A and B are shown apart, each in its own frame.
Chain A
Amino acid sequence: MNKSAIIIDDELTSVEALRGLLNRYCPDINVVDFAHGVVSGLQAIEKNNPDLVFLDVEMKDGVGFDILQQLPDEPTFQVIFVTAFDHYAIKAFRFCALDYLLKPVDPDLLVQAVDKAVKVSNEAMANKIKILQKNKNGNEKIVLPSKDEFFVAEVNEIIRCEANGNYTIFYLKNHQPQLVSKTLKEFDELLSGSKFLRIHKSHLINLEFVERYLPKDSQVIMKDGARVEVSRRRKDVFLKYLFNN
């Protein structure tokens, strides 16, 4: 069950901190090498062919993404991104359902991320990274993880999302509904902005797909014909957004 890992981070103390944590909390992970930048990172990957790469997002000679882009082939390892504070990057990771850790690293979250990385196939990882790179100019695609696979959706094809316990059902244009293993709260945070609005505790809708509003029943009819309830308290907010867009 032993897995090999390398740590790529331009600060030696950061490397040491993470190695210490891995030794203590993830004894199955062998840190076989480390590197301090994009160039040496690429060499380390080539030399060691690791199972797992901890990749710092911002380094002196480039960002972590550069390494992934400069790989000769598709990555054959799992990546866990590590960053101190970068909103933009974090949002990008979340859109692709990629794991990331924040510095200083929380031991519990480290164990969780490593456990997950061990289970995911390298192929799935390579696909997520592809989407991450495609999304560079804005988050156009989103990875929707389900029990043992994932679905890639265009953000502007999402008609609405509905809470279902700890799951969320995505209703999409031209596709079957998808049952996704994350809460609606998480997608609300991720998608809310000009287009998406939470109109009910169980409903997040894409305002561009609103067909009609029925004030009497306090319902919206979406372009796919679905009727969605607008909660009493959200009515004002909903109307304001509807007319501003």
Chain B
Amino acid sequence: MWAFFFKSFLVLCFVFAANLAFAQNVFENQLLLDAQRDLQQRKFAQALDKARVVYDNAIAKEDTVLKGESSFIIGKVFQKNGSYLVALEYLFTSLKIFDKNVGKKSEVLKTLGDLYHDWGGYKKGLEYYKLADSTSIDPEFKKDIKEAEGDIYSHLNQADLALVEYDKAIALSSFKDVVFLQRIYKKKSDIFLERHDYDNALLMEFKQFDLVTHSVDQHTKATILNNIGYLYNFKSDNEKALVYFKKSKITSIETGDTDSLYITLINIGAIYNIKKDLDSSLMALNEALKVVSMDKNKEKEATVRNYLAATLLEFKKYSEASDNNRIAIDLIKNSNNLSLLSQCYYIRSKIMEQKGKTKEQKYYYDQYKKLNDSLNLISTLFQNRQAEVDSLISTKESKIQQLLLNKEIDNLVLKQYKLLSEQREKDIVLLAQQNSLQKMALNNEMLNKDRVSRMWLLTQKELENERKAHEISELQKSRSEQDLLTQKTAVKLNELAKENLQNELDIEKQRTELNKSAHERLWIIFGFSGGLTLIFLAFGYYSQRKNARESQLKFANLEIQQRLLRSQMNPHFLFNSLNSIQGFINSNDSDKANRFLACYARLMRSILENTSKEMVSLHSELEALKSYIELEQMRLGNSFTYQIEVKEIESDMIAIPPMLIQPYVENSIMHGLRHKVSGGLLKISIFPSEGFLNCYIYDNGIGREASKVINENRSKDYKSVAMNLTRDRLELLNAKDNSNMEVGIRDEFTLDGNPSGTTVILKLQLVEYV
């Protein structure tokens, strides 16, 4: 009964809201839909653009629903992009607005959960997922939440709880949801495997197999068959294992999937090895070698060759084993795949043992041991760090929330706080990094120093992608301080930095790959009978790869955003200028038309030129600014004068991000000076101080309060879109360059307390222009 009432109430609410919205905001709603579509297609820049327009309109119209919707999308864009702090601000705004709207609220809560999940604040993420879950009544939506909760538990090594959530997700989904179900079964299967519960893992694989046989997608079939074989091997049922591996082989040949083919072939080789059938084993492995040699992938070839070496060793063909092992080591010596390298060293030590070379055997065994220990050490280190991250994130969040709830938010305070907390976070990371480097150096005296740093960077890459570029440079600094890394490392670091850059560019590609890899994760087995009892799990290698890709998703593609934000120039201004020219022509004032046009062209030229660069000289930025101000003067009939003063620096030797000052000047003119009949003054002072470049933009206009009153009675013609964008831009530049640029606004008063204008204070990084 209650449920019925509740439901019909919701429906009513929805219909009402929808009618209202569609009647009033057709344009904005269409934009929002488009933005949502852009977001789904990962066109972040476009989505942000559209949502921003809606957001600005919403504020002008004082339409809270629209404001909530648009801030939700803006928040989502920033979340996906890794600008978590900015995202938080928008998401909280949206959350406050949708407090009474059940459906929307749960969506926002889920996004908050996603944000913390990506950020690494698992506990917080879980809290928000639970809130979203309790708010939502839509099973389609709830199942996604359950999956996310399960993922977090699995990250936290709480497998039981993860299984519970995954089961709930399965219960909530329909049978048609093949892709979703398969993914969940896969995740469950992974957990069972980790707990050595092979029967249940097998069950999960068979369930996946059922799903796949009914679907068109044959691509994952080979993978599943391979994994079934793998699990049978664990159950010591080698006959069945072989049957499934062979099925997998046929399927992967059919679908042309070389990735699963070479792994399946390795597994077939392993089974024959266990069955002591040397010829068949070698045949399978050689076939695998043929497959990977077409791929030209060093790691794959090394994997196959190492297995080949192990097999040959097993059958006492020492020199051939040694050759293949040597090639494998050479292939991956310089790669980041340390677990594979440690496996190769292990086999090497075994070969040396058989050859009776004790010294070499000991050396390679030590190498293997040390690599392994280091890998373990790193994983524990990161586990320890989790608590740190959690507490850090929760203090930061409560601070932000407090500030937002407080109606009198002073933007500046918030920003300063953010800068502070970000700095602190960086300090902690840096400290942990230095500690662990030292620890590692102590633990691994014998270990090649070069490798320590490489390993550190590798793991760093997985967890700290966002700050990677910054930290590489920090590492380079610490090199000279600690005298720990050799010259060679510097080259490596450079390479990694380059790789980092490449990663950023390849982000889209990796995303698709990731989606694929979730289904295609393959398992390789290797069982040794007799004296060797080591079991290699190539599975571990694959999950490692997956994590690396996952964290690459968090990359904020700052450069792209930068370009987007830079290209903004108030279209109102552009078209109003053209309109002025038309006015001069129609009033036959050719002289004014000519001068205005020349000035307009000069400004356009500067904008075109400057916005194509990341930094421009202060001189050319000021030239553009002068053209802009002179245009405004002509438009407003010279009602104000302007001064630009540059103190203590040569403007052509200082660099500044283009079009950063202009929005504030525009604001001064439009909101301060325009309303003044005469005697208006705009004064721009630029001077250095303590490593910063200060820009003061003063106008003796009517002041912010009075301007607000006037603007409330006007349409939003001059609402400066650029101001908001500039704020975001500063935020992004700060994140990118690790700087603390900021902007503040000061209301000026005369001695007797009357408003006497406004000063905008921009504190920018002082950078030399070359």
Contact = CB atoms under 8 A, between A and B. Distances in A.
B601 A234 contact: no
Nearest to A202: B650
Interface stretch (A47-55, A64-72, A102-110, A117-125): A102-110
Given A107-B594, A107-B595, A201-B650, A237 B601 contact: no
15 contacts: A24-B594, A102-B605, A104-B597, A106-B598, A106-B601, A107-B591, A107-B598, A109-B598, A185-B619, A185-B652, A198-B770, A201-B650, A233-B653, A237-B768, A241-B770
B597 A198 contact: no
A106 B770 CA distance: 30
Contacts of B601: 102-104, 106
Interface in A44-88: 85
B240 interface: no
Query: Which 9 interchain pairs have the tightest Cβ spacing?
Result: A106-B598, A201-B650, A104-B597, A104-B601, A237-B768, A185-B652, A107-B594, A237-B770, A233-B768
A106 B593 CA distance: 11
Contacts of A107: 591, 594-595, 598
A234 B767 CA distance: 10
Nearest to B651: A185
Contacts, number: 44
A102 B608 CA distance: 15
B590 interface: yes
Interface string A173-199: 000000000000100110010000110
B653 A198 contact: yes
A236 B768 contact: yes
B354 to A, nearest CB: 52
Interface in B633-673: 650, 652-653
Contacts of B591: 24, 107
A192 B768 CA distance: 14
A236 B653 CA distance: 13
B578 to A, nearest CB: 13
Interface string B597-615: 1110110010000000000
A221 interface: no
A236 B598 CA distance: 40
Given A102-B605, A107-B598, 15 more contacts: A102-B601, A103-B601, A104-B594, A104-B598, A105-B598, A106-B595, A106-B598, A106-B602, A107-B595, A188-B652, A198-B652, A198-B770, A201-B650, A234-B768, A237-B768
Interface residues of B, number: 16
Contacts of A113: none
B598 A197 contact: no
A21 interface: yes
Contacts of B590: 20, 24
A106 B604 CA distance: 14
Interface in B567-618: 590-591, 594-595, 597-599, 601-602, 605
Given A102-B601, A102-B605, A234-B768, A189 B594 contact: no
Contacts of B597: 104
Given A197-B770, A237-B768, A241-B770, A189 B598 contact: no
A85 B652 CA distance: 23
A21 B770 CA distance: 38
A25 B704 CA distance: 43
Contact of B770 (A20, A103, A185, A192): A192
A57 B599 CA distance: 22
B653 A234 contact: yes
Contacts of A241: 770
A201 B598 contact: no
Contacts of A198: 652-653, 770
B473 to A, nearest CB: 15
Contacts of A109: 598
Nearest to B594: A107
Interface string A89-112: 000000000000011111111000
B594 A201 contact: no
A192 B653 CA distance: 12
Nearest to B608: A85
B47 to A, nearest CB: 32
Contacts of A103: 601
A211 to B, nearest CB: 22
Contacts of A106: 595, 598-599, 601-602
Interface in B667-682: none
Contacts of A102: 601, 605
